[in-house]
Amino acid sequence: MSSIAPTLPLNDNHTIPAIGYGTGHLTDDNAPDLVPFALECGYRLLDTAARYDNEVGVGRGVRESSVDRAEIMVTTKLRGSQHGSETARQALEVSLSRLGLDYVDLYLIHWPLPRIDKYVESWETMIAMRDEGLIRSIGTSNFNPDHIDRLERETGVLPAVNQIERHLEWPQAQKCEYQAERGIVTQAWSPLRLAGPVLDSSTVTSIGGQHGVNPGQVALRWHIQSGVVPIPHSTNRDRIAANFDVFTFELSDDEMASLATLDSGDRLGGDPLTHEEF
């Protein structure tokens, strides 16, 4: 359990760990304790965002951890209010300064905000900042295939990652397939559906019973066997450790098929076509 996760290839010749630690609800106060703990458990991928207002704490956790910074894939995101050519550059500079790092491994556009229509110019700046060494890999979050097609058409550069809402009730199979065909790794946010009732369903609990694991571990293993990178969040040390302990059992084809029947279309977050957050 203390070994590190396997990795998946990215379309830019880098790699990404098969599971990450989501820091969405951490604060600058608890991140400096919990981030090093997650790294001790074996996580090597961290997910934060300018909008989470915890980059200072997450960066402190990275710097104070006994794990080499070079082994850790640090992700942060461009918030809506900073879309644009020059503003995207300023936003990354502020994030790097808050994190106390001189580069990030993965920088994502948090939401496409099609009404504002500045995601392509933001992307052009991100390509330039990647080429300058400030970012290792660039990607998107909550982008639909149409948004990704436009990035490719106008810049020739596909995202390495698209991070989307994905859980047993909203598996977004078609979107994952579209992304896989283009070598874009799908990351799943709210991979446990915020510990929602689906984890108590008999389908999930009976599969967990077969393997001697808890329902959250079943859900995380389902993502991993779907080729998707989940980024579960927890502030509870036992659950942080257990959520990483998903590489010692395998779900059968029948179990994967019964988990697929839990798709209820019930999403938690907004529609990328209309959702706006700044």
Ligand X SMILES: NC(=O)c1ccc[n+]([C@@H]2O[C@H](COP(=O)([O-])OP(=O)(O)OC[C@H]3O[C@@H](n4cnc5c(N)ncnc54)[C@H](OP(=O)(O)O)[C@@H]3O)[C@@H](O)[C@H]2O)c1
Phi, psi of 231 (to 5 degrees): -125, 70
Select from 54, 140, 141, 162 the one that contacts ligand X (CB under 6 A): 141
Select from 7, 15, 24, 56 the one that contacts ligand X (CB under 6 A): 24
Tokens matching residue 173: 């199979």
Asked if 76 and 95 touch (Cβ cutoff 8 Å), the reply is yes
Select from 76, 162, 163, 226 the one that contacts ligand X (CB under 6 A): 163
Asked if 79 and 91 touch (Cβ cutoff 8 Å), the reply is yes
Pick 32 or 216: Cβ nearer ligand X:
216
Pick 95 or 243: Cβ nearer ligand X:
243
Q: What totals of helices (H) and strands (E) does the chain contain, helices first? A: 10, 10
Q: How far is the CB of 152 from ligand X (least distance, A)?
A: 21
Tokens matching residue 103: 């580069």
C-alpha to C-alpha distances, 140 to 99, 163, 179, nearest whole angstrom: 20, 6, 12
Residue whose tokens read 């995202």: 159
Of 43, 52, 107, 119, the catalytic one is 52
How many CA atoms, within 13 angstroms, populate the side-chain half-sphere of residue 38?
32
Pick 42 or 216: Cβ nearer ligand X:
216
Active site residue 43: no
Pick 125 or 243: Cβ nearer ligand X:
243
Q: How far is the CB of 156 from ligand X (least distance, A)?
A: 25
Pick 10 or 19: Cβ nearer ligand X:
19
From 187, 87, 190, select the one nearest 140 (Cα to Cα).
Answer: 187
Query: In the range 226-245, which residues lie near ligand X by CB under 6 A?
Result: 231-236, 239, 242-243
Tokens matching residue 125: 């700046």
Task: Sort strands 104-109 and 229-230 into parallel, antiparallel or unpaired.
Answer: unpaired
Task: Sort strands 104-109 and 185-189 into parallel, antiparallel or unpaired.
Answer: unpaired
User: In angstroms, rounded to a whole number, what is the distance separating the alpha carbons of residues 91 and 173?
Assistant: 33
Phi, psi of 78 (to 5 degrees): -80, 120
Q: How far is the CB of 48 from ligand X (least distance, A)?
A: 7
Select from 76, 82, 142, 162 the one that contacts ligand X (CB under 6 A): 142
Q: How far is the CB of 185 from ligand X (least distance, A)?
A: 14
User: In angstroms, rounded to a whole number, what is the distance separating the alpha carbons of residues 100 and 188?
Assistant: 26
Query: In the range 183-222, which residues lie near ligand X by CB under 6 A?
Result: 189-195, 214, 216
Q: How far is the CB of 92 from ligand X (least distance, A)?
A: 17
Query: In the range 41-100, which residues lie near ligand X by CB under 6 A?
Result: 47
Q: How far is the CB of 203 from ligand X (least distance, A)?
A: 16
- 172 lines the binding site for ligand X (CB under 6 A): no
Pick 109 or 129: Cβ nearer ligand X:
109
Q: How many residues contact ligand X, by CB under 6 A?
A: 27
C-alpha to C-alpha distances, 113 to 76, 267, 277, nearest whole angstrom: 18, 18, 8
Catalytic residues: 52
What is the contact surface with ligand X in residues (CB under 6 A)? 22-25, 47, 110, 141-142, 163, 189-195, 214, 216, 231-236, 239, 242-243
